[in-house]
């Protein structure tokens, strides 16, 4: 019997078939059924772009694609929020990838507070989807490790966190503001809306929007528990440097930059040091914070007042 295929052509068909089967392994099972959101063909799940790290897109007439409008994006996220099964999918992704930094309920920890109506970085739904998929370059926020099409589910869940009632804290914010300036002497190292020194500490003008009450309390009781050490952005890098020169001089401060042969830091007075490592007799960089432990300075009531004040600092109104 005469063969219809030569051996080389038969081998090519086997390879093509294998690639087709492999491609099917990446189809999200959740996308095989269910009503399609606005701008989508039936059975395709929430609108999305070419991959998990791209902005959602919808099919256009003629077989092409177009970028969804902000209104369409918002409508798609609202459909996910309204569907308990879809929202649960976003929650599962959040619990696997986000709770370590943002807390189990988005209350904030090392990462910013998410349980609030307006997010500083994610000013709209398109930006939110981009952030959860790609992260934020130059910060400790990484891109999500998700399959194609999952970013809208995570973004929708994050949006739902902002609709929960905000946590109420005890204490008197007005008394806390006074403690911040006087007994706590916080403006020696920090600034709030342009007031203070910020010699070695971060600007706290929007700390209430970035950190949870629990995180703020821990920062006052255990200042060295979580010191940001991101080397990508100077304002987030608070590793503390201690040096002793070969001539006997000693200095310390917050690291600004460091290379193989030099280190640059800012001391408590705000002065900037740039020192050659060849001139150092001792050099130490650690996570110890120069911030005092306020547990012994403030009474329990005063601590509550301080937290009540700090959570009101939410940036520009």
On whether both 206 and 184 belong to a single domain, the answer is yes
12 located within any domain: no
Q: Which H or E element spans position 86? A: helix 84-97
Q: What is the pLDDT of residues 87-98, one digit of tens each?
A: 999 999 999 989
The answer to whether the CB of 90 falls within 8 A of the CB of 154 is yes
| Farthest CA pair distance, the chain | 99
Higher pLDDT, 217 or 285: 217
On whether both 266 and 213 belong to a single domain, the answer is no
CA 53-59-65 angle, to 5 degrees, is 65
On whether both 111 and 155 belong to a single domain, the answer is yes
1 located within any domain: no
Mean pLDDT of all residues in 209-232: 74
65 located within any domain: yes
Domain of 89, in residue numbers: 57-161
Q: What is the pLDDT of residues 24-83, one digit of tens each?
A: 333 343 343 344 444 344 444 454 444 444 445 433 334 344 577 888 888 999 999 999
CATH of the domain at 252: 2.30.30.100
| Residue-wise burial string across 142-180, b where 16 or more C-beta atoms lie within 10 A, e elsewhere | ebbebebbbbbbbbbbbbbbbeeeeeebebbbebbbebb
What percentage of the chain exceeds 70 in pLDDT?
73
32 located within any domain: no
On whether both 149 and 77 belong to a single domain, the answer is yes
191 located within any domain: yes
Instruction: Note the pLDDT of residue 100.
Output: 85
Which token pair is 303? Answer: 């601590």
**In terms of C-beta density within 10 A (0-12 exposed, 13-18 middle, 19 or more buried), how is residue 4 classed?**
exposed
14 located within any domain: no
* Total residues found in the chain within this entry: 317
pTM (predicted TM-score): 0.60
Looking at the predicted structure, is the pLDDT value of residue 135 above 50? yes
How many folded domains does the chain comprise?
3
Looking at the predicted structure, is the pLDDT value of residue 134 above 60? yes
CA atoms within a 13 Å half-sphere pointing along the CA-CB vector of 293: 7
6 located within any domain: no
On whether both 116 and 198 belong to a single domain, the answer is no
Pairwise CA distance, residues 162 & 273, whole Å = 43
Mean pLDDT of all residues in 92-117: 84
On whether both 72 and 152 belong to a single domain, the answer is yes
Pairwise CA distance, residues 157 & 91, whole Å = 6
Q: What is the pLDDT of residues 192-216, one digit of tens each?
A: 988 876 667 778 888 887 788 888 8
On whether both 152 and 278 belong to a single domain, the answer is no
42 located within any domain: no
């Amino acid at each position: 019997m005469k063969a219809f295929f030569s051996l080389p052509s038969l081998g090519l068909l086997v390879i093509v078939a294998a690639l087709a089967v492999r491609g099917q392994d990446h189809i999200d099972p959740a996308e095989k059924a269910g009503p399609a959101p606005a701008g989508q063909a039936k059975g395709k799940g929430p609108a999305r772009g070419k991959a998990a790290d791209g902005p959602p897109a919808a099919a256009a007439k003629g077989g092409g694609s177009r970028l969804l409008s902000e209104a369409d994006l918002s409508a798609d996220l609202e459909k996910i929020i309204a569907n308990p099964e879809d929202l649960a999918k976003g929650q599962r992704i959040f619990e696997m990838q986000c709770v370590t930094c943002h807390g189990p309920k988005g209350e904030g920890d090392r990462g910013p507070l998410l349980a609030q109506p307006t997010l500083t970085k994610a000013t709209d739904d398109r930006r939110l989807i981009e952030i959860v998929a790609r992260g934020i370059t130059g910060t400790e926020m990484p891109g999500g490790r998700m399959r194609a099409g999952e970013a809208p589910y995570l973004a929708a869940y994050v949006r739902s966190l902002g609709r929960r009632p905000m946590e109420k804290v005890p204490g008197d914010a007005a008394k806390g503001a006074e403690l911040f300036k006087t007994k706590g002497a916080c403006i020696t190292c920090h600034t709030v809306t342009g007031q203070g020194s910020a010699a070695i500490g971060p600007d706290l003008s929007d700390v209430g929007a970035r950190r949870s009450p629990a995180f703020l309390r821990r920062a006052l009781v255990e200042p060295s528990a979580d010191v940001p050490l991101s080397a990508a952005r100077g304002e987030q890098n608070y590793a503390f440097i201690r040096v002793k020169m070969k001539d006997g001089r000693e200095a310390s401060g917050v690291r600004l930059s460091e290379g193989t042969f030099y280190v640059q830091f800012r001391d408590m007075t705000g002065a900037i040091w740039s020192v050659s490592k060849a001139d150092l007799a001792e050099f130490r960089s650690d996570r110890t914070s120069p911030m005092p432990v306020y547990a012994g300075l403030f009474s329990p009531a005063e601590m509550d007042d301080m937290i009540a004040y700090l959570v009101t600092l939410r940036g520009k109104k």
